[in-house]
Structure 1
Amino acid sequence: MKDRRSFIKKTTLGATGVALGSFAFPAKSYSNILGANDRVILGSVGIRGRGKGLLDSFTKMHDKGVFVKTLCDVDSSLFNERVQLATNNQGGKAPKTETDMRNVFDDKDIDAVVIAAPNHWHALSTIWATQAGKHVYVEKPSSHNVWEGRKMVEAARKYNRVVQVGFQNRSISNVMQAMDFLHNGGIGEVFMARGTCFKPRNSFGRVADSTPPSSLDYDKWLGPANYRPYNEKKGHYNWHWHWDTGNGDTGNQGPHQFDVARWGLNKNVHPVKVQSMGGIFGITKEECSQETPNTQISTFEYEDGKILEFETRGRYTNGESNGNIKIGNMFYGTEGWLEINGSTWKAYKGSEKEPFAGSGMADGAAVGGDTSFRTAPDSDGHFANFITGVKSGNRLDINCDVEVGHMSTVLPLIANIAYKTGETLRFNGEFENFIDNEAADLMLTRRYRYPYIVPENV
């Protein structure tokens, strides 16, 4: 295990990788070089749920030169409705369909792919795509485990591809403004960040294993995950609440607020300590197959003593802070505190009850005489930002590069490991492993199911 972990370094490795199967060709071999009109041709992988939303957004950019050529999903029952959606948004231009993402990656006309498959597919699909020369937009969390997340970073660097992770707050003008405010000392030195994910969810039930519907390629749906018989309650969306395929709400909605918390703390390193506790409350094992906790409190400590807290509440609850926040963030500094609720933020000085700064408060008092942070940065949104990066081919042009996404994704992943072990864990950020805890280290990766294997050398 130690030899395996030696590869998981903070810096990107330069080892020569071996591409899998049909992907053994150079990253620059795809033929559709962007033309004078900067047309971008996309493939959309995973078109249920969040994937449908992404498809709708990207096809609505048709007037900006974006064309979704291919829709891909292992469930063919989705095709008719999604093709119609895309066709309507693209001025009558219909996409083709595929059930195997590898055919999408093999298409040399496609410049980039949008990945909204379940969490356990994020890493391998991104690696395959970059090996095939595609730029990638991948939903959060960037990976299902820590080790494969680092492999995504290595692949993006090796094949020089732009990989944007779907942390949309990075491209919301008011959130960007709040971050500028914090980083410029708006509430003094920020010593603690708190994220919340309060989403009451009822039992989704339990049924016996059965035969997959004829429209679903169940083997491809499972992909890298361990084999298990098909079960209706462990499939579409409910995969979030089973460890082989999901990461619970701490790793579902949570990553967005983890990212904002880390961003506000201005931490570009991993924490040195993590602890997490919780459980499944209000739902019995007899009535529901859920494995992940619906109530979870996680705490992280950085080397300088600064703290990041995160709480998941999956039952009925009040909100927090002045804004009755249920999905959001709070930051605490030596001179005040700040809350972010969606795209709205407010800052409070000392023990004052009224905000002295916030979104829409351009006339507020300056911090250190500087009012530049008062104007929210211009942003066309996260999807447009990705297209900008695809056109330039420069990862510096995107707001959430894969390494940024990986750093934030590690937080809920190691929180879940602390929850499973029931221990306070010390973390070595340079090598992305735990200190003196082999049991926890084993959870940094997984046993992959052939042939859906994330390679050691990408």
Structure 2
Amino acid sequence: MGNRRNFIKKTTLASTGIAIGATAFSAKSYGNILGSNDRIMLASIGVRGRGKGLMENFAQMYGEGVRIKTICDVDSSFLEERVALAASLQDNNRPGTATDLREVYDDKEIDAVIIATPNHWHALSTIWACQAGKHVYVEKPSSHNVWEGRKMVEAARKYNRVVQVGFQNRSISNVMQAMEFLHNGGIGEVYMARGTCFKPRDSFGISADTAPPASLNYDLWLGPAAYRPYNEKRGHYNWHWHWNTGNGDTGNQGPHQFDVARWGLNKNEHPIKVQSMGGIYGISPEECSQETPNTQTSVFEYADGKILEFETRGRYTNHEANLGIKIGNVFYGTNGWLEVNGDTWNAYKGRDTEPFAGSNMGAGAAIGGDTSFLTAPDSKGHFGNFIDGLRSGNPKDLNCDIEIGHTSTVLPLIANIAYRVGETLRFDGKTEKFIGNKEADAMLTREYREPYVVPTRV
């Protein structure tokens, strides 16, 4: 109990800007680089839905020196089921359980954590992990708002932690190949990128507020978010569609394609302008508590005039491009266009209707006779890449370091702000603030609920 109280005391101090474990974690632990034969101990935080999938993927790496030591979720009702699943994948080694992530951070044997909580917990759980000397794999979007995302970057750098964001396209060989093709001038100069998230969603209904289930620590589930009485329609998974905890589909499925769009444009900077419009169509507020739009069109302009478009459609719709894209990307260049659908891509010259290069065409036709760029880069996948980064201790070995993940996450976040204020907004990428719009600036952060406060000084 003494260790537990000390840890809680330290986390409270962290909310005022004092780092967790300032004395508990030495320079030796910060500088530790795991050897190729060292067993990497992981904790999986948030193990419903996507979290279950992440846990499975890492548990399957048991033979490569990876072990899930602890499974943590604020809802205890399915922990035993997840324990059994993990044990079946790692030679019957059963992980322990926790319902409070602070217990995980207090365990010095854990090297890294996998975070698949609701969006509003991503930033604080990552910052606390870095302060406690843990490396982090955090799901997309990397943060719930822009300001806390920058704090994640600062924490990773200050504590020399490896932090990977779950933009898995960054580690798919064929997608890596398509990006290299674009960057090598495969369709000329790319001047516009388009991302699509066409994912039909039906009404999930409406219900009265109730007491939370006995298995759920609701205070901890809310964490940094503003207090609202428990309502099952704002709880598990439905949190995506309420501003207090989620970011809608533009900030749910959308971040993957935002990331690919920015990658293809080769933009390692923020746009200077954003506008977004849409609404909730086909579902009435009397039948559903959804707050985020199910249909949304967003457009971004960069300093050199290049354009990034994004479209979210949550109702009945057609597909786009020759590959029948619903969730994917299209790029437009001065000499042609390119489509990406999952791990398949095709490129077209001018007005041609047949592709001249693509993932299924081998070396195909090439620019200036050079075919080398059409060889798909080697990839161990996003999870393997994270483990390699842990072993090297070098964030530069990651395919999606927190800085990359943050830059891509900013796009859907500021699109949602433009939608909510109903104006075209100008953005200063250096300060990560809007120009001349206090209402929009206020949405770049939030009021945090004690003691779950993202510190100004990480």
Instruction: Report the alpha carbon displacement of residue 26 of structure 1 after superposing the two structures with TM.
Output: 3.5
**Is 1:431 aligned to 2:431, yes or no?**
yes
Aligned 1:110-189 pairs, distance under 5 A: 110-189=110-189
Q: Distance in 2 between matches of 1:355 and 1:379?
A: 25
The answer as to whether partners of 2:33 and 2:393 remain within 8 angstroms in 1 is no
**1:456 paired to 2:456:** yes
Q: Which is worse superposed, 363-372 or 85-94?
A: 363-372
Structure-to-structure mapping, 1:217-256, within 5 angstroms: 217-256=217-256
Alignment-derived partner of residue 378 in structure 1: 378
- What is the alpha-carbon distance in structure 2 between the residues aligned to residue 30 and residue 364 of structure 1? 50
**Structure 1 position 17, deviation (Å):** 5.2
Structure 2 residue identity aligned to 1:449: R
Q: 1:347 is matched by which residue type in structure 2?
A: A
Query: 1:326 aligned to 2:311?
Result: no
Matched with 1:268 is 268
CA distance in 2, matches of 1:307, 1:58: 37
| Residue identity in the other structure for 1:274 | V
Moved more, 359-368 or 167-176: 359-368
SS in structure 1 opposite 2:308?
Answer: strand
Instruction: Give the whole-Å Cα distance in 2 for the aligned partners of 1:362 and 1:30.
Output: 46
3-state secondary structure, aligned to 1:186: coil
State the identity as a percent: 74
What is the one-letter code of the residue matched to 1:327? I
Matched, 1:53 2:53: yes
Amino acid across the alignment from 2:423? E
* Change in CA separation of 1:223 and 1:17 when aligned onto 2, cut-off 3 Å: closer
Kindly state the Cα deviation for residue 281 of structure 1 after the two structures are TM-superposed. Answer: 0.2
Tell me the C-alpha RMSD between the 2 structures. Answer: 1.4
Shift of 1:18: 1.6
CA contact 1:23–1:106 (8 Å) conserved in 2? no
* Equivalent residue number for residue 387 of structure 1: 387
Is the Cα–Cα contact under 8 Å of residues 27 and 131 in structure 1 kept in the other structure? no
Check whether the contact 1:30–1:109 (CA below 8 A) recurs between aligned residues: no
SS in 2 for 1:360: coil
Shift of 1:39: 1.5
User: 1:365 deviation in Å?
Assistant: 1.3
Which residue number in structure 1 is paired with residue 9 of structure 2?
none
C-alpha distance after superposition, 1:192-213 (max 9, x if no partner): 0000000000000000000100
Q: Does 1:74 align with 2:53?
A: no
Contact 1:23 1:128 in 2 (8 A): no
SS of residue paired to 1:204: coil
- SS of corresponding position for 2:202: coil
Unaligned runs of 5+ in 2: 1-15
SS of corresponding position for 1:285: coil
Alignment partners' CA distance in 2, 1:306 and 1:314: 27
- Alignment check: 8 A CA contact 1:28 1:133 kept: no
Match in the other structure for 1:335: 335
Q: By how many angstroms is 1:146 displaced?
A: 0.1
Q: Is the 8 A contact 1:194 1:310 kept in 2?
A: yes
Using the alignment, how far apart are the partners of 1:79 and 1:435 within structure 2? Answer: 47
Letter in 1 for 2:313: R
**Structure 1 residue 369 displacement after superposition:** 2.5
CA distance in 1, matches of 2:380, 2:167: 14
Provide, for residues 39-90 of structure 1, a one-character-per-residue CA deviation record: whole Å limited to 9, x for no partner: 2110100000000000010000000000000000000011111000000000
| Aligned counterparts of 1:78 and 1:233: Cα–Cα separation in 2 | 19
Alignment of 1:422 onto 2:422: yes
Deviation at 1:248, TM superposition (A): 0.1
| SS in structure 2 at match of 1:246 | coil
CA shift in 2, pair 1:264/1:212, >3 Å? same
1:36 Cα deviation after fit: 5.8
Tell me how far apart the structure 2 counterparts of residues 401 and 159 of structure 1 sit (CA, whole Å). Answer: 14
TM-score (norm 1): 0.95
Q: 1:333 to 1:217 in 2, by over 3 A?
A: same
Aligned to 1:26: 25
- How far apart are residue 254 of structure 1 and its match? 0.1
Report the AA paired with residue 362 of structure 1: G
Q: Could you tell me how far 1:360 is from its partner in structure 2?
A: 2.2
1:321 corresponds to which letter in structure 2? Answer: A
Q: Which runs of 5+ in 1 are unaligned?
A: 1-15
Distance 1:104 1:336 in 2: 51
Residues 203-227 of structure 1: CA deviation (Å, up to 9, x unaligned): 0000000010000000000000000
What is the alpha-carbon distance in structure 2 between the residues aligned to residue 132 and residue 347 of structure 1? 46
For the residue of structure 2 that corresponds to 1:203, the secondary structure is coil
Distance 1:23 1:355 in 2: 57
Q: How many angstroms apart in 2 are the aligned matches of 1:262 and 1:452? A: 32
Report what 1:98 is aligned to: 98
Provide Cα deviations, 1:274-327, integer angstroms capped at 9, x if missing partner. 000000000000000000000000000000000000000000111001111000
Counterparts of 2:368 and 2:185, CA distance in 1: 9
* Residue 289 (str. 1) matches residue 289 (str. 2): yes
Runs of 4+ in 1 over 3 A off after TM superposition: 22-36
How many residue pairs match? The answer is 442
Question: Match for 1:340: what amino acid?
Answer: V
Between the aligned partners of 1:118 and 1:296, the Cα distance in structure 2 is 22
- Normalised to the residue count of structure 2, the TM-score between the two structures is 0.95
Return the letter of the residue paired with 1:413: L
User: How much does 1:133 deviate?
Assistant: 0.5
SS in 1 for 2:312: strand
